[in-house]
Homo-oligomer: A and B are copies of this chain.
């Protein structure tokens, strides 16, 4: 673990004598291994020289953080504390901030905690927060403070959960989208959303935590962003999946509030982003909800009735993203929804309420035609992005070795259902990988391996950014992709076979 962004080194410099009056700081610098190169000592560590040096009998641990200039000693502790070398990695999401406390001697996470982002007080939708703070330094500062408060809460929860003090933490890595990085660092984020879409900043140096406003002595390392809608969370995800290191071609799809897509390998990376929509987080479906207790996460049609799996095991309260996909898949494969996405009025399980067709998937809970329409726009966007991207790159689906689906959504989703409705392409299922929180995983990878930091510029420079809106036939492609699974059924042979098996197609 030589390459971590922070190190602890146990030192036993000789105590000063009248014949050797080098300063306490100098004795420590002189006792460091020379292969570290240039090492400085920060002001807060200098203020710890007394009493640490004297009281420890000159047996002490220096905590070092990587900076642009080399290494900096950011804290001192008496005795040998090299066994307690912890770092923090963070996924700064617009809804949730998730962190892990990582033991840098093993590379393993010791605990993981998360909290809702206090920014939500300034708008559930990220755009509301941007407009709230637009051109107003005081309001921008409110949002920055809300972000820092969330960070502090999660850090405290990790401290409480493990009994580990993090005040001398040497490194925190952060991955988040471009807007979130603006808010964390106190940058006006309006430029992220307004033409010509040049963010204030996309690449970040290591900053002292105290300058960022975080309560520990080390440095903060923020993943860089590639463009306004292609943030550090995606770069982090690429690092987590290893796509930029491998020869085989992979697709990386992150569908949260927005959809981001990358296709590539070690030779090329093409990336794009578009409004996938909150549908996948349950946002546009009437009984949609986040994946919390009470959410229906799985639906199976058995013997003419829906069997729902409910998170937390209680009474169903609504559908989370994976529940929507499951339900729609079952409706389609059982003839309740046609390939245009329309509920079949003739089907016995389809009913009309208040002039709109719907199905009852749980007692008192209905899934409406308008829900389906809204959801299919999102699924069409995701599908079209993949299609366009592969076409731009000039490769076929069969050349894609791995299809990563990032985000909490991907984790809970059943691959088969996602293929059935055309959200995922019809490809060998073992090539579809639910990659989980790749933003957090990539932050952890960076924390444990400083060579990642050195390679980020390469990754960014290699990345080509496509604006989907500028693709000429985008609208036509979207329309075609709104069908279930797709207007061109030949692209979905496995789904076609199921329809035949179910007697819906000949």
Chain A residues with a Cβ under 8 A of chain B: 16-18, 20-27, 38, 40-41, 43, 46-47, 49-51, 67-70, 135, 185-188, 190-191, 195-203, 205, 207-208, 210-212, 227-228
Contact = CB atoms under 8 A, between A and B. Distances in A.
B50 A200 contact: yes
Contacts of A208: 211
Contacts of A187: 46-47, 49-50
Contacts of A38: 68
A24 B191 contact: yes
Tallying the copies of this chain within the complex gives 2
B69 A23 contact: no
A69 B207 CA distance: 13
A23 B186 contact: no
Which residue, A23, A195, A208, has most C-beta atoms of chain B within 10 A?
A: A23
B23 A200 contact: yes
A20 B197 CA distance: 9
Contact of A46 (B25, B50, B185, B228): B185
A196 B18 contact: yes
B17 A196 contact: yes
A203 B23 contact: yes
Given A43-B186, A135-B50, A185-B43, A198 B69 contact: no
Nearest to A207: B43
Given A16-B198, A41-B201, A41-B205, 16 more contacts: A16-B196, A18-B196, A22-B198, A23-B198, A23-B199, A23-B200, A25-B202, A25-B203, A26-B203, A43-B207, A46-B187, A46-B200, A46-B201, A47-B187, A50-B135, A210-B211
Contacts of A210: 211
A155 B298 CA distance: 67
A287 to B, nearest CB: 39
A488 B38 CA distance: 53
A281 to B, nearest CB: 27
Nearest to A29: B203
A17 B191 CA distance: 12
A227 to B, nearest CB: 6
A185 B212 CA distance: 21
Contact of A24 (B40, B185, B199): B199
Given A43-B185, A186-B43, A191-B24, A49 B200 contact: yes
Given A43-B186, A46-B185, A50-B188, A197 B18 contact: yes
A183 to B, nearest CB: 12
A445 B198 CA distance: 42
Nearest to A24: B200
A67 B21 CA distance: 28
A49 to B, nearest CB: 5
A62 to B, nearest CB: 14
A347 to B, nearest CB: 48
Contacts of A24: 191, 198-201
A461 to B, nearest CB: 12
A169 B207 CA distance: 21
Contacts of A197: 16, 18, 21
Contacts of A205: 40-41
